[in-house]
Amino acid sequence: MATISTAALLLRAVDYGESDRIVTLLGRTTGCVGAMARGARKSQRRFGGGLGLCSLGEAVMRERGGAELLTLERFEVAKSYPSLGSDVERMGHAAYVAELVTKLCAPRQAEPGIFDLMTAFLDGLEAGGPGELRLRVFELGLLERLGFAPALEGCAVCGRRDLSTGEVIDVRFLPDQGGVVCRGCADRGRPMRSSVRLALAALARADLVRTDGQDDGADALPTLASDVARGCREALHELIAGHLSAPLRSLDFLAKTESARALAARGAS
C-alpha cells in the first residue's frame, strides 16, 4: 500500500481504545487527513512524545485498503509550542484556529498556503502571546485562501467603491451576498460602520505570512478601539458561521479564557 510522507501539523487527537489515538493532521502536501495512530499512548519513539496539539513534524502514513482513516506509522516532531501547555489563553487561541481549519478545509485537498499561514500564526502565538487582532488576521487569511474572502473595499453586488468613510451607516454586511453591500442594493443585514469596514480591510492586508515566509509580527497590526475590534469579530464570526454545519466548540473555551483574563486585569487594577 502507498506510503505518504509530509510535513504536518496536528489539529486534533482523540483517544481510542486502550492505547490508540485517532488524529487529524494538516499535511502540507495532503491537506486535512484523519489517521489511526496505533499504540500512540504508549510509544514515545514512534510518535514523538504523545502527539501534542499543534505539534509540527514529519508524518509518515499509509493507506488502509480504501478505509477513510489512514494509518499513522510515525510522527517525528520538529517543533512544539511549550507555552500551550502553560498558558490557557494561548491554548484557547491554538485550539480555535485548529478547529477552524479542520471544519473549513476540504479533506485530502492540499493547501500549502493554509499550512504556512497556520505555522506563522503559531510561531507568533508562541513568541508574542495571544492577541485578538492576530486571530482576525488569521481568519481573514484563511477565508481568502479558501476563496471565501468578503468584499470590503466596495459593494459586493454593484461594485460601488465610493462608500462613506464617515460614521454614517451607509453599508450593510451580508455574508450570503459576499460582504459589504451598499444601501442601494440591500435594506437587510447587519449595518456596518465605516470604521469597522475600514478596519477589516486593513486587517485583510496584514497577512501573517510575508513573501519570505516569516511572520510579520504583532507590531504590523493596526491599533483598534474596543468597539471597532468587537465589530470586526462579530462580522467575521457571522461570515464563518455561514460556512459551518455546526457551531465551533472552541469558541466557548475561548470566551471563557478571555473572560478570566479580563477579570484578572480588573482585579490587578
DSSP 8-state symbol, 31: E
Phi, psi of 180 (to 5 degrees): -80, 140
What is the average pLDDT score of the chain?
Answer: 88
Asked whether the predicted pLDDT for residue 216 surpasses 90, the reply is no
Task: Name which of 90-94, 174-178, 206-210, 212-216 the model is least confident about.
Answer: 212-216
> If we measure between CA atoms, which residue out of 94, 138, 135 comes closest to residue 116?
138
Per-residue pLDDT at 36: 94
End-to-end Cα separation, the chain, in angstroms: 62
Predicted pLDDT at 79: 92
Look at residue 119 and tell me whether its pLDDT is greater than 70.
yes
- How far apart CA 200 and CA 109 sit, in angstroms, is 28
Query: Is the model more confident about 260 or about 209?
Result: 209
Tell me, what's the pLDDT at 213? 44
pLDDT score at 217? 46
Alpha helices, DSSP H, located in 51-131: 88-104, 112-128
168-209 pLDDT per residue, tens? 567 899 999 999 998 889 888 888 998 999 999 999 998 888
Query: pLDDT tens digits for 128-152?
Result: 999 999 999 999 999 999 999 999 9
SS3 109: coil
pLDDT above 60 (res 77): yes
Q: Which residue has the higher pLDDT, 128 or 221?
A: 128
Sign of the torsion angle spanned by Cα atoms 196, 147, 122, 256: positive
117 has a pLDDT exceeding 70 = yes
Q: Report the alpha-carbon distance of residue 118 to residue 97 in Å, rounded.
A: 8
The mean pLDDT value for 239-261 works out to 89
pLDDT at 112 over 70: yes
State mean pLDDT over 94-100.
97
pLDDT in tens, 6-55: 999 999 999 998 889 999 999 999 999 999 999 888 766 677 666 789 99
Instruction: In whole angstroms, give the CA distance from residue 145 to residue 182.
Output: 25
* Average pLDDT value for residue range 45-67: 83
Q: How far is it, in rounded angstroms, from Cα 99 to Cα 142?
A: 12
- Torsion angle of alpha carbons 132, 133, 139, 141, nearest 10°? -150
**Bridge partners, 37 (sequence order):** 21
